[in-house]
Amino acid sequence: MLRFYCEVLGCSVEKRVARLGLIHLRAGAALIDLVSVDGPLGRKGGAAPAAGGRNLDHFCLRIEPFDYEALRARFAPFGIELQPLGERFGAEGDGPSVYLEDPEGNTIELKGTAPRGA
Eight-state DSSP code of residue 66: -
Do 68 and 108 lie in one domain? The reply is yes
Read off the pLDDT of residues 44-62 as tens digits, 9 standing for 90 and up: 876 666 666 666 789 999 9
Q: Is the pLDDT of residue 114 over 90?
A: no
Q: Which of 48, 65, 83 is the last residue of a domain?
A: 48
> What value does the mean pLDDT take over residues 17-38?
93
Do 29 and 66 lie in one domain? The reply is no
pTM, two decimals, is 0.86
Phi (first) and psi of residue 65, to 5 degrees: -75, 155
Number of domains in the chain: 2
Mean pLDDT of the chain: 89
Question: Which residue, 41, 44, 1, is CA-closest to 25?
Answer: 1
Query: Domain limits at 56?
Result: 51-118
Q: Measured between alpha carbons, how far is 11 from 101 in angstroms, rounded to an integer?
A: 15
Q: Is the pLDDT of residue 118 over 60?
A: no
